Amino acid sequence: MAETDATLIATRQGAVGRLLMNRPRALNALDLPMIDAMAEAIAAWREDESLRLVLLEGAGDRAFCAGGDVRRVREQVLAGDYDSVEAFFSHEYAVNGAIAAFPRPWVSLIDGVCMGGGIGVAVHGSHRVVTEHAMLAMPETAIALFPDVGTSYVLPRLAGGLGRWLALTGGRLKGAEAVEAGLATHFVPRERLGELHAALLAEGDARVVERFAAPVPPGRIAALLPAIDRCFAHDERAAIESALRAEDSDWAREQLAILEHVSPTSVAVTLELLKRGAALDLPACLEMELSLTRGVTRHPDFAEGVRAVLVDKDNAPRWQPAADPVSLFG
């Protein structure tokens, strides 16, 4: 059993392997020790035939996992410590791939914020359970990164232009909306989450999730899909913006404002990434993303974006003109 002050607590309870991301003050943001501890647990449990499922949770009541610790990555970039940057992303993406290849159910209980790297440790598993307090997003363009952790594979495979909308604008999916969109698999009200947790541990059977899951009728995402498809079915920024202007709705104007505020280079990179990811399998997407981190984190926009959003929090980034995205893929 891990020490209680460990940032990832890996324990075994009967047929269940339990993983608790344990940085509640940092909204359970992933750092390298957490990632490496998760990799160690996955390796130990992969061949253990007595283990019937893995249960992944976040400590506290605010977040499942708010993403990777990009503030630390920025510090490493500014210090020229590119070996540490490479280690963080390569180890993180290896864990994403290992979750996808894990031979038994991987159940994530998402109650609170789940962004970026948090989506990466959940979306490749078999069961992604959300409550009404869950909020899922990939907000990387706001910090001049790009949708990573294998979402270059996942997002192009969502319905219509949904993945491109989520990737470019960081659109937030609340609770059951994440099931509607296809990023989550089950909706369970928070008041029943404790019962579900106990049943999973007692029975060691991921199928118990079905007993607690509530139906998800068409809602906000279903209502938005026609407009999303009209506006985000395009591979070029100019075409997307033209379609949004033609849409002439409050929602469309909000999306245009977001696109004008995020990194121009990140928008260009993301469009190219999703275009390529649509034709690749997950391992190839993860390899592509790792290569892309080398160019993107060295681009001035990355340090500036993290500064504006997460360090100084003035939300006033000073972006460079859009770079040729192909040049950053390596």
> Is 46 domain-assigned?
yes
Edge-first strand listing for the sheet containing 135-137: 63-65, 113-115, 135-137, 173-174
Q: Which pLDDT does position 7 carry in this prediction? A: 95
- Evaluate if residue 1 carries a pLDDT over 60: no
Residues 148-156: what's their mean pLDDT? 98
Q: Which of 67, 117, 120, 204 is catalytic?
A: 117
> Is 2 domain-assigned?
no
Residue with tokens 């993860």: 286
> Is 198 domain-assigned?
yes
Give percent of the chain above pLDDT 70: 99
Single out the residue of 136, 139, 197, 128 nearest to residue 168, CA to CA: 139
- Evaluate if residue 123 carries a pLDDT over 90: yes
Q: Which of 68, 120, 150, 182 is catalytic?
A: 68
- Reply yes or no on whether 17 is catalytic: no
> Is 235 domain-assigned?
yes
Token pair recorded at residue 143: 């910090």
pLDDT digits (tens, 9 = 90+) for 256-266: 999 999 999 99
Domains contained in the chain, number: 1
- Evaluate if residue 89 carries a pLDDT over 70: yes
Please report, for residues 156, 198, 217, 239, 306, the alpha-carbon distance to residue 159 in angstroms, rounded to integers and kept in the order given. Answer: 8, 34, 16, 19, 30
> Is 3 domain-assigned?
no
Looking from the CA of 166 toward its CB, the CA atoms found within 13 Å total 32
Q: Which of 148, 241, 272, 289 is catalytic?
A: 148
Q: What is the mean pLDDT of the chain?
A: 96
Edge-first strand listing for the sheet containing 106-110: 8-13, 16-21, 53-58, 106-110, 127-130, 186-187
- Evaluate if residue 2 carries a pLDDT over 60: no
Single out the residue of 13, 14, 231, 31 nearest to residue 22, CA to CA: 31
pLDDT digits (tens, 9 = 90+) for 231-247: 999 999 999 999 999 99
CATH of the domain at 90: 3.90.226.10
- Reply yes or no on whether 117 is catalytic: yes
Residues 6 or more apart whose Cβ sits within 8 Å of residue 214: 176, 187, 188, 189
- Evaluate if residue 35 carries a pLDDT over 50: yes
- Evaluate if residue 226 carries a pLDDT over 50: yes
Residues 119-144: what's their mean pLDDT? 98
- State the pTM of this model: 0.96
**Angle at the Cα of 282 (from 205 to 101), degrees rounded to 5?**
30
Residues 147-159: what's their mean pLDDT? 98
- Reply yes or no on whether 80 is catalytic: no
Helix (H) or strand (E) holding 45: helix 32-46
- Evaluate if residue 311 carries a pLDDT over 50: yes
Q: Which pLDDT does position 5 carry in this prediction? A: 78
- Provide the domain limits for residue 186: 8-328
Q: Which of 69, 111, 140, 241 is catalytic?
A: 140
List, as one string, the DSSP characters of 231-293.
HHS-SSHHHHHHHHHHH-SHHHHHHHHHHHHS-HHHHHHHHHHHHHHTTS-HHHHHHHHHHHH
Token pair recorded at residue 283: 């391992």
- Reply yes or no on whether 68 is catalytic: yes
Q: Which pLDDT does position 62 carry in this prediction? A: 94
> Is 1 domain-assigned?
no
- Other beta carbons within 10 angstroms of residue 150's beta carbon come to 24
Q: How confident is the model at residue 330 (pLDDT cuts 50, 70, 90)?
A: confident
